[in-house]
Structure 1
Amino acid sequence: MIAVVLLFQVAIPLAILAWLWLYPANSMAGLAIQAAGTGAFLFALARVAQWALPVWWLPWVYGAVWLAGVVFTLTIRPGFGGFAPWPSGGWAWASAAISAVLLGLGGWFGAQALAGRTPPPVPVVEIANPFGAGHFLVASGGSHQLVNAHMRTLDESVERFRPWRGQSYAVDFFGLGPWGFRARGWRPAATAAYAIFGAPLVAPCAGTVVAAENDRPDFEVPREDPVNRLGNHVILRCGDAEIVLAHMRQGSVKVRPGDKVANGDPLGEVGNSGASTEPHLHIHAQRPAAEGAPPISGDPLALAIDGRFLVRGDHLWGRAE
């Protein structure tokens, strides 16, 4: 995973920017497609990748460097005014071809990521902010599998997905600490090193607690429990929908089945229990599961938090902020 992150979120963007700055096309058409191709590819990376690792603001830095490179070439670089209208020579045409590939890839993936901002064709459940305090980044969310890995469980042909299908439109949150980093270190083992660990959670709607678990252990990163997938969790029945908050901190859950809660009542804290490879909050909405069926096997519903359909890369601040 770390090698993939370094390749796609560091090495490739830096190589693209170095190419734009050091080897700009020698023609007007070539430069136009080079600028468009590199810009589209960087935009797609910004929308598709999880930028909690290395840091959420890095795509903005890349965008600023890209814009500066284009402006520098157009206004300052000597000889630009003498550029030919079309590429000339083998390298110039090869450069244009590479730019066209980047434009195609960036355009396609960027469009798919933007399509994920449209709510899916299911009812949308409106809830309030589930966080008491803090700054949070959406790790997975949206209506396209490119930005929301949970959507793979919509495939009913895969038997092992059926007990989990209620979480198909879930939203996962990382926490952000000083300077926008999610943790103290690249991927520390200690759960306390993560900004979200211990973040207070509150009821995002008024309802009844239908399930709660409080005794599952919080694992060191990247260990997980693939059997007890929710770990410590709370399931709230709000109207005709259920809201599931999972991977909570051991011993922090403050409610029990049958409790009535009001919007904003304390529920517990974010932890790293269950099928979680690092501390984060998993939250989703679903129809109640059939009697005797697994608890998150109900029909999946979409979530709007404080009126927003959140997608990978979006930010949310806790109520106390």
Structure 2
Amino acid sequence: MKRGIACAGNWIVDIVHTIEAWPQKSDLVRIKAEAEGTGGGAANVLLALAAFRTGLPLYALGLVGTDRHAETVRAAVRTAGADLSGLKTTDRAPTAHTHVMNLSGDSRTFFYHPGTNDLLAEDDIAVEAAAAKGAAIFYLGYLNLLGKLDEIDPQGTGAARVLSRARAAGMVTAVDLVSTDRPEFRAAVEAALPHTDYLFLNEVEAARATGLPADPADEASLSAAARQLLAKGVRRAVIVHTPALGLWLGAEGTALTRRPDPVMPEDIVSPVGAGDAFAAGCLYGIHEGWQPEACLRLGHRAAAAALKGATATESIPPLSALL
């Protein structure tokens, strides 16, 4: 019986700066606090799953450099007790890193150096090795921030082919998007959909992936976007998350909306990683065969916990506390 989740894609070091205000051009503002941790879809989901402390086998797949940021990533994976044999190294670029400007009670802005993430190729992702070790789920994130894997060619994209390999190896596939604005955004998503069992995205990504309006608080508009993505090929479910709600639309007809418990503004340290924590909670439920309502509930509680820390996963407690 397969057990475990392989997390592939973006491995980033986030340097989170909490600032006193957003500056005008040429102005100076003070950094009130600074924290450093791992970031990116693969890193955040794997470390959130590890924070649940369930003993679930976890596998890291991706590419880092030979610099101090690479050691930060490797140390985090080792501390999580995950298998890092699929985390490869190159000296052709530095490890991806992001300077995150966080304004407490408001939002955050990212200054991203793609580094090794832009070099990640199909052959770098040891899909079959993870499957041979027993991984049941293959997670890939973030689509449209994967450099070479997002490039469109006559056969589709590298990301789509990686997902196809994962399904052929017997794994369930899960894909997460990123809120970047690139001309090929929709085409890159559509290439991957037929190889995607579960798709995670927010309202911004839903609009860019479909061309439809998607209001974060409007269930009808989010459902319309989700239905279009199912029609384009998503095999099991489209899962949309916004600050106002979580929406699960299943290929078999399940339609479920759940609104999270409110989080007091004074309890929010940083929203960095909240969406990834939501995905991790849902993925754990999917892995364990839970019903959609239970998956969304755990996703919302994990996201709420993530909001209370400066980095993406530092404040996520064990599963027993979330339940």
TM-score normalized with structure 1 length: 0.25
More RCO (CA 8 Å, sep 6+): 1
TM-score normalized with structure 2 length: 0.25
